[in-house]
Amino acid sequence: MPDIHLPCPSPECQRSPRTMTANLARGLFEYRVLHDPRYALRSICGTCKKITKFTREQIIILVPPDERPRPLAADLFWAYILFESDAWKGRDHRAFLGDRVLVQRLTREPGGDWYGILKSISPYAPLLKIGNYVKGRPRGRLELCLFVVEDGAARDIPKPAEIPRSSSFGMFVSPNDNDEKILGANIYCSNPSCNHIFSTMTFTKFKAAIEKEQDDEELYDEVTFLATVKLTCPRCKTVRVIDEHSFDGLYQET
Ligand SMILES: [Zn+2]
Ligand SMILES: [Zn+2]
């Protein structure tokens, strides 16, 4: 499907103002409304110069239905399958690689251990299938998927012989002495029902990207005046606009 652009509402014009796609407009709106709750997107038509304001609803309706972010049902959540990685280990921290799978929660114990049904698959656990019963527990703010239940017995999730090089994985870091302080290092897709992790976007990579583009006036957002990077999810097409604050609560290499 071709990209849909914001239309100019002027009857004589019918051209798209600027080259902004509906997906980009939605991403910009999502980003700017965090800073200004009453934000309405202003767009200038490249042909008739008419300025149009778009509300969230007017933008969303232009995004093709299968490309709109969707909330997760209340009993669904993302659980992580992680491998410890010696390559990225540091003197004072442990590093893990992995991605996340969708789980439908069946039970949760007071201590946080949960039991559920797997709803998506992962190259990090190639033997797991949709419909498998899985168990896990929280570590810090992450839910870890740790066991598969077969014939009533829970066993460790079998690992692939080699850690796969997928296009969507994250790095996770915890201090040597405190597992509970584990943090992700990558930006996620902002669509709640998409599992994509921008593997190439860590705080260090973000800093390098804005350093490289610093002469480009498009780098600075017209509402927040912060340097931003626009990411398009390769899975669901959702655009996420990030600035340095998007890394608050994530691991930031020093
Ligand atoms: Zn126009
Ligand atoms: Zn996505």
Indicate the residue type of 15: R
- Residue 143 Cα to ligand 2 midpoint, Å, equals 20
Residue 103: the pLDDT is 98
pTM of the model: 0.90
Ligand nearest to the Cα of 6, by number: 1
* Radius of gyration of the CA atoms of the chain, in A: 21
Domain 1-68, CATH: 3.90.1280
Average per-residue pLDDT for the chain: 92
Q: Which residues lie across from 51 on neighbouring strands? A: 44
Predicted local distance difference test score (pLDDT) of residue 216: 87
User: Ligand 2 centroid to 240 CA: how many Å?
Assistant: 9
pLDDT at position 121: 93
Region 205-230: mean pLDDT is 93
| Spans of all domains in the chain | 1-68, 76-184, 187-247
Has residue 185 got a pLDDT over 80?
yes
Q: How many residues does the chain have?
A: 254
| pLDDT at residue 32 in the model | 96
**Torsion angle of alpha carbons 13, 30, 208, 219, nearest 10°?**
30
* 20 CA from centroid of ligand 1 (Å): 13
Looking at the CA of 12, which ligand is closest?
1
pLDDT at 190 over 80: yes
- Residue 47 CA to ligand 1 centre (angstroms): 5
Cα 57 to Cα 17, 40, 68, 165: the distances in Å are: 18, 10, 12, 38
Residue type for position 243:
D
How many Å lie between the centroid of ligand 1 and the Cα of residue 240? 27
CA of 21 to the centre of ligand 1 (A): 15
Residues by chain with Cβ below 5 Å of ion ligand 1? 8, 10, 13, 45, 47-48
Q: Which ligand is nearest to the CA of 52?
A: 1
How remote is the CA of residue 44 from the centroid of ligand 1, in Å? 8
